[in-house]
Amino acid sequence: MIEALNEIKNLRVLENVSLSSLTTFRIGGSCRLLCEPETAEAAIELMRILPTLGMPYAMLGNGSNTLAPDAGFDGIVIRPAQGGRPERLFGNRVRVFAGNLVPNLAAFARDEGLAGLAFAQGIPGSVGGGICMNCGAYGANIGDVCESVMCVLPGGLLRTFRGEECGFGYRESVFRHMDCLVLEATLALTPGDPEVIGAEMRDYAARRAASQPLSMPSAGSVFKRPVGHFAGKLVEDAGLKGCRIGGAEVSVKHAGFIVNAGGATEADVLALISHIQRTVEEKFSVSLEREICGLGDR
Ligand X SMILES: Cc1cc2nc3c(=O)[nH]c(=O)nc-3n(C[C@H](O)[C@H](O)[C@H](O)COP(=O)(O)OP(=O)(O)OC[C@H]3O[C@@H](n4cnc5c(N)ncnc54)[C@H](O)[C@@H]3O)c2cc1C
Give the catalytic positions in this structure. Answer: 171, 221, 291
DSSP-derived secondary structure letter, 169: B
- If one asks whether residue 37 binds ligand X (CB under 6 A), the answer comes out as no
- If one asks whether residue 297 binds ligand X (CB under 6 A), the answer comes out as yes
**Would you say 165 or 195 has its CB closer to ligand X?**
165
The residue from 28, 61, 247, 256 that contacts ligand X (CB under 6 A) is 61
- If one asks whether residue 182 binds ligand X (CB under 6 A), the answer comes out as yes
Give the number of other CB atoms < 10 A from CB of residue 87.
13
- If one asks whether residue 46 binds ligand X (CB under 6 A), the answer comes out as no
**Would you say 73 or 192 has its CB closer to ligand X?**
73
The residue from 24, 30, 104, 251 that contacts ligand X (CB under 6 A) is 24
Report 127-146 residues binding ligand X (CB under 6 A).
Answer: 128-130, 132-133, 135-137
Q: Min. distance of Cβ 135 from ligand X in angstroms?
A: 3
Q: Min. distance of Cβ 25 from ligand X in angstroms?
A: 8
CA-CA distances (angstroms) from residue 265 to 16, 57, 62?
Answer: 18, 22, 19
Number of residues this chain uses to bind ligand X (CB under 6 A): 35
**Residues pairing with 15 in the sheet:** 33
Q: How buried is 139 (Cβ within 10 angstroms: 0-12 exposed, 13-18 middle, 19+ buried)?
A: exposed
**Residues pairing with 226 in the sheet:** none
- If one asks whether residue 264 binds ligand X (CB under 6 A), the answer comes out as no
The residue from 28, 86, 125, 232 that contacts ligand X (CB under 6 A) is 125
Q: Which stretch binds ligand X (CB under 6 A): 4-12, 31-39, 211-219, 271-279?
A: 211-219
Q: Which stretch binds ligand X (CB under 6 A): 88-96, 189-197, 199-207, 216-224?
A: 216-224
**Would you say 176 or 279 has its CB closer to ligand X?**
176
The residue from 20, 30, 62, 260 that contacts ligand X (CB under 6 A) is 62
Chain residues in the site for ligand X (CB under 6 A): 24, 59-66, 80, 98, 123-126, 128-130, 132-133, 135-137, 175-176, 181-182, 212, 214, 218-220, 293, 296-297
